[in-house]
Structure 1
Amino acid sequence: MSEQHTPRSLIVTFYGAYGRAAAGPVAVAELVRLLAPVGVDAPSVRSSVSRLKRRGLLVPARTATGAAGYALSPGARQLLDDGDRRVYPDGGEREPGWVLAVFSVPEAERHKRHVLRSRLAGLGFGTAAPGVWIAPAHLYEETRHTLERLELASYVDLFRGEHLGFAATAEAVGRWWDLAAIAKRHEAFLDRHEPVLRAWRSRPDTPPEAAYRDYLLALDSWRHLPYTDPGLPTSLLPADWPGGRSAEVFRGLHERLRGAGAAFVGVGGG
């Protein structure tokens, strides 16, 4: 298993892809079965579930048959629902403009400054100036939900706006984000998963377990990328930007494999 595909990450990816469609909590024994195809052994599943429970993402619950299992917490479900808009974009027109975040933390609570910076960076914000964070306007709702969930909203003011100068916006974007680093992440995804898509397109069958394995690994790689790359307008990006191609590869794997993977899990494939 690569460093990227950690047991905890794969469990979160599983719940995002299929666990929300389950009729109830997912039994621990079922989690062990479903993580085995992607190389996670039973002790790793159990220890990772315990960590996710401590973080408040999973809550213990009994299945309909009385078996020990875990369900998503309300906060985790909101996190995944917000993430759907990034991970599975609908291709529609995105809201133009920018959202700005400016925060002020009292000296007595200065440890929260690091938390705020980390969360804004994790949401895909760039740095426009010291203490001024910027992201495409379509990230406003998710940003608001995240800050409220982490009880950080009282320290932050959010603004909508447009860039009026003085540098060209494309030039400014190159200062606000490390575009070269983001491009490398897209290229790494393509190196790993484009051959997988080509292989599936060359075969007539779609065995459920193999489809599930390849889809879960692709989704586990992909779902982090839209947070590194916040979805900047194409007009502001370099001409050879690899983000569109990586999105097409993920879309192709999603369309080909997700439904067959759902059959292996035993949930609906919608």
Structure 2
Amino acid sequence: MAELRTPRSLIVTLYGAYGRPSDDAPFAVAELIRLLHAVGVDAPSVRSCVSRLKRRGLLVAARAADGSAGYALSPDARQLLDDGDRRIYRRPAPRLADGWVLAVFSVPEAERSKRHVLRSRLARLGFGTAAPGVWIAPAGLYEETRHTLERLELAPYVDLFRGHHLGFTPTRESVARWWDLDAVARLHHDFLELHEPVLRDWESTAPPDTAPRPQAAYRDYILALDSWRQLPYADPGLPPELLPDHWPGARSAEVFGRLHDRLRDAGEHFVRG
């Protein structure tokens, strides 16, 4: 399921969208409060969430350009966001011929807590369950899966395989067992219900060559990105021929892409202003 919109989620989205300049300049605390206020988060919630993100090692204290207290991304957090970019902005079109990656794991009973972490992490990467202890995903997720398991020190419990589905049930029927495609489709429909009207409003009220209003562009972009960035993890990115008819994923990706192209850079004027 997609993460509900929360102050923590919006802070992570803000850093993902605008918090990785080439000079690694941190956001001042006052700037974080201003920017989150624009999307409906109050100052106490900002301070509380920033403190929690610092304790988790995702943010580090640093001085802003004006010398005031601020926070920058930790190296681990930057790596996580860089990994996420490949899914959120540059996901390649899946091909059935690419096959699958399988994760087969066994965790000793004495370390059962790692079993839960492993299952939840594979699910968040987009894996479906083919059988107990056997998880499956499109082959294009191999590199990210390997990198993630190594970073979390879970690799010793997992074997990864590449392969093709050879039967006996048709693959299109099998993927409907491995993933809850109805639930994934609902997430796409929820995204479209929230953000397709926003896109229509922008496209009907401002010609493409007209610069959007910076604060409004920032608000609508951050809210759309916060909703969208969950979807490429919930949706494994199956080849089109394996999906149900009238699958909404392509439409939601198009809507986000058009919002990104129209609003992202205009929103940065509000961030840097």
TM-score normalised by length of structure 1: 0.94
Equivalent pairs, count: 265
Q: Deviations over 1:201-220 (max 9, x none)?
A: 01125100000000000000
Amino acid across the alignment from 2:237: G
Structure 1: gaps of 5 or more residues: none
Structure 1 position 225 matched with structure 2 position 226 = no
Please state how far the C-alpha of 1:92 moved relative to its aligned partner.
5.3
Amino acid across the alignment from 2:158: V
Structure 1 position 265 matched with structure 2 position 271 = yes
Amino acid across the alignment from 1:12: V
Maintained 8 Å contact 1:101/1:133: yes
RMSD: 1.6
Amino acid across the alignment from 1:80: L
What's the counterpart of residue 120 of structure 2? 118
Please state how far the C-alpha of 1:156 moved relative to its aligned partner.
1.2
What's the counterpart of residue 6 of structure 1? 6
CA distance in structure 1 between the partners assigned to 2:170 and 2:145 by the alignment:
26
Tell me which moved more, 78-87 or 16-25: 16-25
Please state how far the C-alpha of 1:91 moved relative to its aligned partner.
4.7
What's the counterpart of residue 175 of structure 1? 177
CA distance in structure 2 between the partners assigned to 1:157 and 1:117 by the alignment:
14
SS of 2:161's partner is strand
CA distance in structure 1 between the partners assigned to 2:143 and 2:59 by the alignment:
23
What's the counterpart of residue 72 of structure 1? 73
CA distance in structure 2 between the partners assigned to 1:97 and 1:78 by the alignment:
27
Structure 2: gaps of 5 or more residues: none
Amino acid across the alignment from 1:67: S
SS of 1:238's partner is coil
Q: Deviations over 1:38-60 (max 9, x none)?
A: 00111100100111112221111
SS of 2:269's partner is helix
Maintained 8 Å contact 1:25/1:61: yes
CA distance in structure 2 between the partners assigned to 1:90 and 1:117 by the alignment:
23
Alignment map for 1:1-270 (pairs within 5 Å): 4-21=4-21, 23=23, 24-89=25-90, 91=92, 96-204=98-206, 205=210, 206-266=212-272
Please state how far the C-alpha of 1:89 moved relative to its aligned partner.
2.3
CA distance in structure 1 between the partners assigned to 2:106 and 2:45 by the alignment:
40
Q: Deviations over 1:162-184 (max 9, x none)?
A: 11111111111011000111000
SS of 1:160's partner is strand
CA distance in structure 2 between the partners assigned to 1:90 and 1:146 by the alignment:
17
Maintained 8 Å contact 2:94/2:237: no
Using the aligned pairs only, state the percent identity: 75
